[in-house]
C-alpha cells in the first residue's frame, strides 16, 4: 500500500506559473515585495528553486506577453540548466485597448485577426520552447443585454479556435479554460465546462478543457465536472488555486482542502494521476500579501497532501460498501482517507528522493530569499503587464 502510494506521488508532476513569482494584487493595490524577479529568466530561477525543494514541480508555465524574450530557445536552455522545463504557454488577449469589446469574439474583424495572430504567435513560441500545451483563456463577453449577438460571438470563437488548432503540431494540444463571469458581467463567451466541451469537440481531438478551480459559482461540485470530462476524454488539466468568494486565486488547498481531496480522488479513480494520462496539474495563483516562492511551495505541498489522501482511499472497501448500499460505511471509508495525517508519509518520500522532508523550512534556511533580495536591486519588478 505505502509503496504504491509513494510511487504514485513520486511520479506526480505539478507545474508552477511564472506569474506567481511576480508582484500581483487586487484592483485596489499591488504591494511590492523585495527580491521579486524582474525578468522571465529570474522567474525561471525561482521556479527551479521550488522544484529543488519539492522535487515534483519540474516545469514552469509562461504567459505571453508577460514573459516575452528575444530568444525562447535560450530561455528553454536556461531552464534546463536549472533542472526544469518550460511548460504550458498561456496566451493573453485581455490586456490591450483593442480588446475592450472582446478579442476573438469581437465584432470587428481586424481585432479578431489581431487576437488570432497572437494565438498563432503563441504556437510559434511553443515550437521554440518545446512546450506541449497552449492554454486559452478569453476575457470576452458582454456587460449588457443586447450589447452584441451572443450566437455570432460563438461562431467567431469557433473560427478562432479552428484556425489556431490547425497551426498546432501533432504533439501539441489546445487547452480551453472557462470562467463564469469577470471581467464580463452579463455574458461570458466561454462561461462553463459545457461550452468549453462543445467547442473542444468541434475543434478536434487534441482540444481539451481546463478546469480553473476558482472559475465557478459558489457551491459548484467541481469533482463532478472532473469525472464527466475525464469520462469523455476531454479533461486537459487544471489551474489549481482556492477561493472563499469568487476568483480569489489563493494558494491551492488553502480555502477548502476537502474539495481538493475530492477532486484528486476523482483523478485517482479515473486513472488520471500519472503523467502519461495527460492531465496537466498547474497552479494559477496570485500572491498579494504572502511571500511568493514560499506560497508556491506551500501550494505544491497542499496538492501533494490532497493527492496522498486520495491515493489512500481503500478502493476495495469502498466498492464493497457501495455495492451493499451501505451509505455510511462507504462515506466512512472516504473520510478515513481524508482524515489521515499524510505528512509523515510525504516526509519519508522526500527523504527517499534525497530531499529535505520539510521543503518549506528547508527553503527558509537556504538563504535563497536573502540572496535574491540582495541581487535583484534596480530595474522593474515583474508583475501583470510587465
Ligand atoms: C485568468 C485565467 C488564466 C490566467 C490569468 C492570469 O483569470 O485564470 O488562466 O492565465 O487569469
Ligand atoms: Mn486560470
Q: What percentage of residues in the chain have a pLDDT greater than 70?
A: 99
Cis peptide, bond prior to residue 183, ω within 30 of zero: yes
Cβ atoms within 10 Å, residue 277: 12
Residue-wise pLDDT for 128-150, tens only, equals: 999 999 999 999 999 999 999 99
Dist CA 187 CA 191 (whole Å)? 8
**In angstroms, what is the span from residue 79 Cα to ligand 1's centroid?**
23
Which one of the ligands is nearest to 19 CA?
1
Q: Whose CA is nearest to atom 10 of ligand 1?
A: 90
Match 482540444 to its residue by C-alpha cell.
207
pLDDT at 1: 75
Q: Whose CA is nearest to atom 9 of ligand 1?
A: 137
- Of residues 2, 42, 58, the one with CA closest to residue 300: 58
pLDDT of 385 > 70? The answer is no
Q: Which residue out of 135, 191, 284 has the highest number of ligand 1 atoms within 8 Å of its CB and is therefore the one to mutate?
A: 284
pTM for this model (two decimals): 0.98
pLDDT at 297: 98
Q: How far, in whole angstroms, is CA 365 from its chain's centroid?
A: 28
pLDDT at 122: 98
Dist CA 243 CA 253 (whole Å)? 9
Residue-wise pLDDT for 85-119, tens only, equals: 999 999 999 999 999 999 999 999 999 999 999 99
Q: How far, in whole angstroms, is CA 292 from its chain's centroid?
A: 16
Residue-wise pLDDT for 8-59, tens only, equals: 999 999 999 999 999 999 999 999 999 999 999 999 999 999 999 999 999 9
Which one of the ligands is nearest to 135 CA?
1
Mean pLDDT of 316-335: 98
Cβ atoms within 10 Å, residue 20: 26
Instruction: Return the DSSP state at 378.
Output: S
Q: Ligand 1, closest atom to CA 90?
A: 10
Mean per-residue pLDDT of the chain: 97
**In angstroms, what is the span from residue 296 Cα to ligand 1's centroid?**
16
Sign of CA dihedral 39, 44, 49, 53: positive
Amino acid at each position: 500500500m505505502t509503496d504504491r502510494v509513494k510511487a504514485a506521488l513520486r511520479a506526480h508532476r505539478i507545474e508552477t506559473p511564472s506569474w506567481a513569482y511576480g508582484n500581483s494584487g487586487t484592483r485596489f493595490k499591488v504591494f511590492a515585495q523585495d527580491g521579486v524577479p524582474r525578468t522571465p529568466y529570474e522567474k525561471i530561477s525561482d521556479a527551479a528553486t521550488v522544484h529543488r525543494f519539492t522535487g515534483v514541480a519540474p516545469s514552469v508555465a509562461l504567459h505571453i506577453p508577460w514573459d516575452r524574450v528575444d530568444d525562447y530557445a535560450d530561455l528553454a536552455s536556461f531552464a534546463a540548466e536549472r533542472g526544469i522545463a518550460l511548460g504550458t504557454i498561456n496566451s493573453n488577449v485581455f490586456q490591450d485597448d483593442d480588446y475592450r469589446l472582446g478579442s476573438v469574439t469581437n465584432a470587428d474583424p481586424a481585432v479578431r485577426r489581431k487576437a488570432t495572430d497572437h494565438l498563432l504567435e503563441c504556437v510559434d513560441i511553443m515550437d521554440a520552447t518545446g512546450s506541449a500545451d497552449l492554454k486559452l483563456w478569453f476575457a470576452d463577453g458582454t456587460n449588457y443585454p443586447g450589447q452584441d449577438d451572443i450566437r455570432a460571438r460563438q461562431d467567431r470563437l469557433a473560427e478562432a479556435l479552428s484556425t489556431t488548432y490547425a497551426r498546432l503540431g501533432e504533439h501539441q494540444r489546445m487547452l480551453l479554460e472557462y470562467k463564469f463571469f469577470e471581467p464580463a458581467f452579463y455574458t461570458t463567451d466561454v462561461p462553463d465546462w459545457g461550452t468549453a466541451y462543445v467547442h473542444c469537440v468541434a475543434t478536434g481531438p487534441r482540444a481539451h478543457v481546463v478546469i480553473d478551480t476558482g472559475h465557478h459559482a459558489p457551491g459548484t461540485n467541481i469533482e463532478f465536472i472532473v469525472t464527466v470530462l475525464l469520462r469523455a476524454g476531454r479533461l486537459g488539466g487544471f489551474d489549481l488555486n482556492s477561493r472563499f468568494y469568487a476568483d480569489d486565486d489563493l494558494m491551492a488547498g488553502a480555502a477548502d482542502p476537502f474539495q481538493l481531496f475530492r477532486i484528486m480522488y476523482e483523478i485517482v479513480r479515473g486513472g488520471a494521476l500519472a503523467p502519461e494520462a495527460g492531465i496537466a496539474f498547474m497552479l494559477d495563483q496570485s500572491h498579494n500579501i504572502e511571500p511568493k516562492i514560499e506560497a508556491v511551495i506551500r501550494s505544491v505541498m497542499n496538492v501533494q497532501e490532497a493527492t496522498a489522501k486520495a491515493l489512500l482511499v481503500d478502493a476495495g472497501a469502498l466498492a464493497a460498501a457501495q455495492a451493499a448500499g451501505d451509505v455510511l460505511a462507504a462515506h466512512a471509508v472516504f473520510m478515513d482517507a481524508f482524515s489521515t495525517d499524510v505528512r509523515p508519509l510525504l516526509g519519508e518520500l522526500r527523504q527517499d528522493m534525497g530531499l529535505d522532508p520539510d521543503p518549506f523550512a528547508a527553503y527558509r534556511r537556504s538563504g535563497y530569499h536573502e540572496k535574491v533580495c540582495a541581487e535583484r536591486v534596480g530595474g522593474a519588478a515583474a508583475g501583470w503587464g510587465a
